[in-house]
Amino acid sequence: MTKIDKEKLTEEMNSKNREWLIESDGVSALFIHNLENFAYRYLETSTDKGIKCVVDGELYQVKSTEPSIIEALKWDNPELKKSLIDLCKKYPGKASKELRVNLSLVTKMLGEHKNECSAHITCLLPNGESLILFEKTTSMSFDDPIELRNKHAALLEEVSVIF
């Protein structure tokens, strides 16, 4: 295949993909697919498996809860582990067993040409309050939906480092 043929084929494929993204809720399908994939990789807990994306207008979200502080302390993030240990010290004994760690990954459109992705780790305290432990947000502007298709997973990966 010559370089010109390859470029022509690439442009034809991009044109078909662009049409699909614009005309058939392709962006929505892309977000749901990517978020559920990332939920499988990063958000599944001892009790939450097979997490499904929840859509509310332009907001797409996957979330889970780890009800066992002991299980949450086994996670790899050393900064999170330190924060959880500090919370266990603040709420010793039986109270520490009431701590619930919530994980969420969100993507939303901000207008027609901007996408934002964010990740959150919060802790539900025994008194019912929610404490933000970590959060990270990034966004991208794009002129062509193909750019969004090609970079959306990378944005999710960037914010998922907190997990």
Domain interval for residue 79: 3-162
pLDDT (average), residues 60-71 = 97
Please give the Cα distance from 118 to 140 (Å, whole number).
12
pLDDT (average), residues 118-138 = 98
pTM of this prediction? 0.85
Phi and psi, residue 44, nearest 5°: -65, 135
pLDDT (average), residues 3-32 = 74
Determine which of 9-18, 86-95, 138-147 has the lowest per-residue pLDDT on average: 9-18
- Sorted by sequence, the CB contacts under 8 Å of residue 71 that are 6+ apart come out as 45, 46
Is the model's pLDDT at 45 over the cut of 80?
yes
What does the block give as tokens for 22? 């614009």
Task: Give residue 15's pLDDT band: very low, low, confident or very high (50, 70, 90).
Answer: low
Distance of CA 59 to the CA centre of its chain: 12
In the chain, the number of structural domains is 1
Determine which of 15-24, 98-107, 121-130, 138-147 has the lowest per-residue pLDDT on average: 15-24
What does pLDDT average to over the chain?
92
